[in-house]
Structure 1
């Protein structure tokens, strides 16, 4: 529910009040003595879905942009006419639950802090995320997402596109580009300082840190996070629901990958930063694409109907452009996913071959204790480099021919040269 406070221009009082009466809207009018351009101030409650069409109709009746209109939340309205309005406008779906175009623009602007605050909070968020990745701490990484001020710019570009506010669009795009650059740069500088001061072990291997390695070689599933965040962000802002948690989700798609890219750069492995950098950009584009499509689906259009055709054409071009770029990046992620799939198949095949070899009668006394596939450092397209097979058997004995048999079987499933290491552990029977 909303309470609208509307300044009534001189000479338009009767027309505006007749419009409200025709709509059967309850209102209260007070005379205005502070400005001779306005004769009165009208107060009237509206269901949220009614704000946009009623304000548009009042604008057609003579309320121009120079007059100010204040729309605030109303906790309770007791009125039979209000209930009739609610039944007229509220249809129980997302489209009827959305806030007005005027409120949407204000909400999008309010979610974007000043440039100084935005820059500082982005840098802090990136530094915290970098620390969390190096500590291999999911809790710290999640904490970095909470303080990231990314939801405003991420959704503001979509809002500016559909309501024909190019200034908001340009500002949001600029914020996003600068935010990504700041996040990666801050992560790189902080990670470099941590490395040269030996705060982390000098021999730290990035691939051995789970929180880092999973972002250096991302797969297609990462797109689901960005697309889901974009849709959820727009639905939450358009329906007036709290966007705090959705902001965390958008930050989850952007901040940790940016921090991982910065860490890879600080470790002198720019090739390793390719995958996470691509993930950052594809997630940014996916959030914008999902937001744009969702807003258009919800029925948001520019205030000036004469600009509808031009805006629709502009939105269509931007959607097509975003789709093409996202598909190109998705193909890159698809190759990474396929490479990971092949590595998984190789490990499964190697495990099956070891089990088949040990099932033979001559090796009946031996059993597989562990099989580990170690990947190379060629990020983001990693492949198996070494296989360590740990075999348990009688003490003081090694099975003749077992090692060479296992090597032949495992190498058969590898597309390239691979090192196979066989380890024996004595098992004493009680």
Structure 2
């Protein structure tokens, strides 16, 4: 359930209240006339079940509330109310599957920032994976997958393509490009440093590595895994099932592929670097395609459900 705080201009307040009162998933509606000071207007409070939240937010924006007032939403962790229970029963769909598009856009938009933390995480993850490649250690590879922050910009890119937000598309691509380039350059340098220190050798890369050689040998299953991971990742994001996201991070070969590119390039093993680069591109493309398709299916599902079950307006 979400708690909505709406500031509506006095001349639109009655429309907003009528709209909210007519929604099956809205409860705990309260109106404080003239309570808002900046911007001025009436303060309207309510709780809305997640399965109705997207439609409510869209309707409020169609009234132009955000232009002269404001809309804020926050999660409600606990509600003890018979009225809230009735709202959940009357609202179409399931709250566990509900998608609040404005919430998803805001959440993923934050992941496109090319921050110092993002760069450090992707560099560290790739360097860990580089060592894992040389040691043929799946544990290090898995650890690097979990540390890597690249799914944030990938999810943002999917949402931006879905909503046709060119500015967010540009920031997402920039974060991914700069992040992976910085990570690979740092891993090349760290590989040279470790080699000079006698901790790793080129022979370790050229040796048979049965546990990690899949990284630079992409095949049709690379597409399958990437597509499945894209679906699971987007569902975990839109349904707020964050626990599933860890499994998604472990299943995709993005950071390990970038690490293998860097390590192979450091030693001049270009066929392995090329195979790893192809693996990276396949996984990135598969995740974006699957994520975008997942969003399109979710939108079609909820629009169809809303049309079939929308309650007539009061009055």
TM-score normalised per structure 1: 0.64
Q: How many angstroms apart in 1 are the aligned matches of 2:238 and 2:291?
A: 11
Q: Is the 8 A contact 1:134 1:212 kept in 2?
A: no
SS in 2 for 1:167: helix
**Residues 262-286 of structure 1: per-residue CA shift (max 9 Å, x gap):** 1111111112211111010111111
Q: Which residue number in structure 2 is paired with residue 188 of structure 1? A: 188
Q: How many angstroms apart in 1 are the aligned matches of 2:147 and 2:34?
A: 44
User: Structure 1: where are the runs of 5+ without partners?
Assistant: 302-430
SS in 1 for 2:254: helix
User: How far did residue 80 of structure 1 move?
Assistant: 4.2
Q: Is the 8 A contact 1:257 1:277 kept in 2?
A: yes
Q: Highest CA radius of gyration, 1 or 2? A: 1
Q: Which residue number in structure 1 is paired with residue 57 of structure 2? A: 55
CA RMSD between the two structures? 2.4
Distance 1:272 1:114, change over 3 A: closer
User: How far did residue 112 of structure 1 move?
Assistant: 4.3
Q: Is the 8 A contact 2:113 2:175 kept in 1?
A: no
User: How far did residue 153 of structure 1 move?
Assistant: 0.4
Q: Which residue number in structure 2 is paired with residue 87 of structure 1? A: 89
**Residues 142-196 of structure 1: per-residue CA shift (max 9 Å, x gap):** 1111211111101101101112322112111221222232232222222222223
Q: How many angstroms apart in 2 are the aligned matches of 1:150 and 1:141?
A: 15
Higher helix share: 2
Q: Which residue number in structure 2 is paired with residue 170 of structure 1? A: 170
Residue 73 of structure 1, aligned match among 72, 75, 83 = 75
Q: How many angstroms apart in 2 are the aligned matches of 1:2 and 1:88?
A: 16
Name the count of aligned residue pairs: 298
Q: How many angstroms apart in 2 are the aligned matches of 1:143 and 1:101?
A: 31
Distance 1:106 1:206, change over 3 A: same
TM-score normalised per structure 2: 0.85
Q: Counterparts in 2 of 1:339-354, with a 5 A limit?
A: none
Q: Counterparts in 2 of 1:284-303, with a 5 A limit?
A: 284-299=284-299
User: How far did residue 51 of structure 1 move?
Assistant: 0.7
Larger RCO (alpha carbons 8 Å, 6+ apart): 2
Distance 1:147 1:47, change over 3 A: same
Q: Is the 8 A contact 1:10 1:37 kept in 2?
A: no
User: Structure 2: where are the runs of 5+ without partners?
Assistant: 302-315
Q: How many angstroms apart in 1 are the aligned matches of 2:283 and 2:3?
A: 38
Q: Which residue number in structure 2 is paired with residue 38 of structure 1? A: 40
Distance 1:205 1:295, change over 3 A: closer
Distance 1:52 1:300, change over 3 A: farther
